[in-house]
Structure formats: C-alpha cells, structure tokens
C-alpha cells in the first residue's frame, strides 16, 4: 500500500512509519516539525519507499499519485506542549483532520484517526469503555486537545456516514518508549531524566492519580491491526495495567538505581484522577492485547535516555 502518515516525524508517527516500511509499504511522511523531529526519521531517510514532506496539515495537502491509506497522527500530545500551543492544537485536530479526510476522499483511501483517552476527560467511569461519553471541561487548560480530538472523531464519523469514507478511530491511552523527547513533559520521560540526573522526582498532587502505560511497540501493533479491520466506531488501544504516579516514581528510582528523592508539586487543573482502558473490544475484534510488561518497557526507555538512543 501507499500510506500517508501525518505527524510521521513524531514519537508515535515515526515508530508507525518504521513499522509500515518493515511490512514493505510505501510511506509518505508529512510533518511540520513543531513537536516532531527529523532525528526520529533519520534512519528511514535512505529507504527508497520513504518520502518526507515538511508541511502543515492544516494547509491544503497535495499528494501526487495514488494513496491507499491516510493515518492522521499529527498533533501535539503532551499536556505541556498543547497548553503552550493551544491554537495549533485546535487547528490540527479541526482543520488538519478536515484536510486529512479530504485527501482520503479525493484518493478513495481508507482513513485512521489517532484519537485519545483524553476524549473521556476526567472520567467518572473506570475502566473506560468506548461507550462512555466522557467528562470534559470545554474551557479548561486541556480543552484545546480534548475538544479538538472529540471534534476530529465527530468529523471522521460524519465523513464515514455522509461520504462513505472507510474510517477508523483509535483511542490511544498513555504510551511511552524511545523517541519521546527528554523535555516532552510527560511523566515517564520526565521521571526517567530526573532520576538519571539525580534531580528531584516531581510528583504532581498526592501521586494517587492513576495511569496505565502501554509500550510503543504494542501500541503500533494494535494500530496496524485496526487498519486491517472494518470497525468504524472508536476502539481503545492501551495497556490496562493501572498504576499510581507515586508507584511509577518508585519503580523508576529502583530501575535506574537513582538516589533521587520524590518532591510533591501542585496538581495541574483538570488532571484526570483515574485512567485505564477497557480493551475488551480490541481483544475480541482485533485479537490484540499488549505484551510488554511495564518493567521491561521502562528498562528499554531508560537505556534510550542513558545515551543508547536506539529505536
């Protein structure tokens, strides 16, 4: 297949491009490099079936020739990024999704939207099932991300119903691994780098809030399976193994052998108290579930930040 990946130079996008090339697909990677980086795709550059276009997906996208699949992964995804870039975040989820769907329509291509567990907001149901409509503050600091992804889901569904586009929606839960940026702000790269530098590990709130962390290779496998499925309603993809943030901090201190101490900081506004995917739908319909245990995934990620920087 000839596959367009928007946000292809980002954390998930670059792992996805690499995976697709391994399956012998041709990949067109589109990225404006606001949060993505050419380093992430440097190892792919000399492959004949990989093409990079530096472009902002919110502007008209012109792709020469056939396209079989559009994978829309462009967006800031770390809370500190999207809080610093609220308008770009809203634009890429709104206008960017419109342009990406426009390419799919013009090329008669299939479409997959990278949506997020943030559509559930600060959930009142745990674990989160796809049928849950969520608890989102429409004007809070996270609303630029949450609401643009909710809009993106609505737009994808409208293109499916109204134009018959063959769409899919992946609701991606917290994912980690190599190629996250050192100062990305998300909890795993932050804690690992604080531990490696011997700095205080900054736990927000009382550290009792939970997240469920999926290693990147598992997530990409789930995305690929969803690409091949005929499911137009959202599918949760993530690891259901739920931890508190305080537990995560201890695990990272232990695995790095760090002497860092934990320090408590105020909890950011609207920070979800619980997050855990119900992945029954993906288990049954995609025959998928994550395989990499947190400890194994953390070890690989720690190696990456220690300087190995492979992957």
Q: How far is the CB of 106 from ligand UDP (least distance, A)?
A: 34
Instruction: Fill in the per-residue mask, 143 to 182: x = in contact with ligand UDP (CB under 6 A), - = not in contact.
Output: -------------------------------x--------
According to the binding rule CB under 6 A, does residue 40 interact with ligand UDP? no
* Number of chain residues interacting with ligand UDP (CB under 6 A): 14
Residue identified by tokens 């009142």 is 124
Length of the chain in terms of residues written: 311
Backbone angles phi, psi at 69, to 5 degrees: -150, 140
DSSP 217-233: HHHHHHHHHHHTS---S
Q: Which of 70, 203, 253, 302 binds ligand UDP (CB under 6 A)?
A: 203
Judged by DSSP in three states, 28 sits in strand
Q: How far is the CB of 84 from ligand UDP (least distance, A)?
A: 13
Q: Which helix (H) or strand (E) holds 19?
A: helix 11-22
Q: Would you please indicate which residues are annotated as catalytic (active-site) residues?
A: 145
Q: Which of 211, 274, 276, 281 binds ligand UDP (CB under 6 A)?
A: 211
Residue identified by tokens 């290693």 is 215
Are the C-beta atoms of residues 283 and 289 closer than 8 Å to each other? yes
Backbone angles phi, psi at 56, to 5 degrees: -90, 115
According to the binding rule CB under 6 A, does residue 202 interact with ligand UDP? yes
Q: Which 62-101 residues touch ligand UDP, going by CB under 6 A? A: 79
According to the binding rule CB under 6 A, does residue 12 interact with ligand UDP? no
Nearer to ligand UDP among residue 99 and residue 181 (C-beta): 181
Q: Which of 204, 221, 242, 247 binds ligand UDP (CB under 6 A)?
A: 204
Residues forming beta bridges with residue 202, ordered by sequence position: 263
Backbone angles phi, psi at 93, to 5 degrees: -75, -35
Q: Given the rule CB under 6 A, which residues bind ligand UDP?
A: 79, 174, 185-187, 190, 202-204, 209, 211, 245, 268, 271
């Amino acid at each position: 297949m000839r596959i367009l990946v928007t946000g292809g130079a980002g954390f998930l996008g670059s792992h996805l491009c690499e995976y697709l090339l391994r399956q012998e697909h041709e990949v067109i990677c589109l990225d404006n490099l606001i949060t993505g980086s050419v380093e992430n795709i440097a190892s792919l550059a000399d492959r004949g079936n990989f093409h990079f276009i530096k472009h902002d997906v919110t502007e008209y996208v012109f792709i020469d020739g056939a396209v079989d699949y559009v994978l829309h992964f462009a967006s800031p995804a770390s809370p500190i990024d999207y809080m610093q870039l609220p308008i770009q975040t809203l634009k890429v989820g709104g206008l960017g999704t419109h342009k990406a769907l426009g390419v799919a329509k013009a090329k008669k291509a299939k479409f997959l939207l990278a949506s997020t567990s943030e559509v559930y907001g600060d959930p009142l149901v745990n674990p989160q099932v796809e049928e849950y409509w969520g608890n989102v503050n429409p004007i809070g600091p996270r609303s630029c991300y949450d609401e643009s992804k909710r809009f993106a889901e609505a737009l994808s569904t409208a293109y499916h119903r109204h134009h018959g586009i063959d769409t899919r929606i992946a609701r991606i839960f917290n994912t980690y691994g190599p190629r996250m940026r050192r100062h990305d702000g998300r909890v795993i790269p932050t804690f690992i780098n604080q531990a490696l530098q011997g700095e205080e590990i900054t736990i927000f709130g009382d550290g009792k809030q939970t997240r469920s962390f999926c290693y990147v290779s598992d997530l990409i496998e789930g995305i690929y399976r969803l690409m091949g499925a005929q499911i137009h309603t959202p599918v949760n993809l993530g690891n259901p193994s739920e931890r508190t943030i305080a537990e995560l901090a201890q695990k990272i201190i232990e695995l790095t052998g760090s002497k860092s101490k934990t320090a408590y900081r105020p909890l950011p506004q609207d920070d979800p108290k619980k997050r855990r995917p119900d992945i029954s739908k993906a288990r049954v319909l995609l025959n998928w579930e994550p395989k990499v245990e947190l400890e194994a995934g953390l070890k690989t990620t720690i190696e990456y930040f220690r300087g190995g920087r492979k992957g």
